[in-house]
């Protein structure tokens, strides 16, 4: 027995939870100037983003009039290609000869807005899951009478 509404909400909950984890990682590394090394030089942390896509129903499901999508999934975690921030701080151990330090391309305000969006999406899917569960329970009660 397939429970489409439950599957859709569950996939969205999983995707939003991963999105919140990635955002938390971005916030935690907002000041990390040595995430990796290239050619012996430190490279700052690069902001990461989740890339999601709908889980499409197969052709047979579409022909039978079932939902065209079966939820959402994270296809990959991509790095933000925007340039690193340059900050003047000659006392920093990673400063170049001009006193400039390459800082991560993480904008804390953007991350907080994304985190609020992910949290609200998560809460909305919990509400949808609970509504589906309540409808399912009501239909079982009707069958008992």
SS3 content of the chain, % helix, strand, coil (to 5): 45, 25, 30
In this prediction, residue 107 carries a pLDDT of: 95
d(Cα 12, Cα 122) in Å, to the nearest integer?
A: 7
Examine the pLDDT at 28 and tell me if it is beyond 90.
Answer: yes
Contact in structure between 56 and 73 (CB atoms under 8 Å): no
For the record, the structure tokens of 132 come out as 């589906």
Q: What is the pLDDT of residue 2?
A: 54
Distances from the Cα of 123 to the Cα of 11, 16, 51, 67, 129, angstroms: 13, 10, 20, 23, 10
- Mean pLDDT over the full length of the chain: 88
Cβ–Cβ < 8 Å for 25, 41: no
* Mean pLDDT, residues 113-121: 96
> Which pLDDT score is estimated for 67?
58
What confidence score (pLDDT) does residue 135 get?
86
CA Rg, the chain, in Å?
A: 22
- Give the range with max mean pLDDT: 53-62, 118-127, 135-144: 118-127
Pick from 83, 93, 6, 78: which is nearest to 48 by CA?
78
pTM for this structure?
Answer: 0.82
The whole-number average pLDDT for the span 116-138 is 91
pLDDT > 80? residue 58: no
CB 54 within 8 Å of CB 15: no
Least confident span in 15-19, 35-39, 79-83, 107-111: 35-39
- Residue 1 pLDDT level (bands cut at 50, 70, 90): very low
């Amino acid at each position: 027995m397939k429970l489409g509404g439950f599957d859709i909400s569950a996939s969205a909950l999983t995707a939003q939870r991963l999105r919140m984890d990635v955002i938390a990682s971005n916030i935690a590394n907002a000041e990390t100037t040595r995430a990796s090394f290239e050619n012996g030089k430190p490279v700052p942390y690069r902001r990461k983003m989740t890339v999601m896509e709908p889980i499409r129903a197969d052709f047979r499901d579409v022909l039978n009039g079932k939902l065209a999508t079966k939820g959402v999934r994270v296809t990959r975690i991509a790095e933000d290609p925007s340039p690193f921030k340059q900050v003047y701080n000659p006392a920093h151990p990673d400063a170049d000869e001009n006193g400039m330090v390459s800082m991560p391309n993480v904008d804390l305000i953007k991350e907080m807005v994304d985190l609020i969006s992910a949290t609200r999406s998560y809460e909305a899917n919990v509400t949808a899951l609970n509504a589906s569960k309540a409808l399912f329970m009501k239909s079982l009660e009707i069958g008992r009478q």
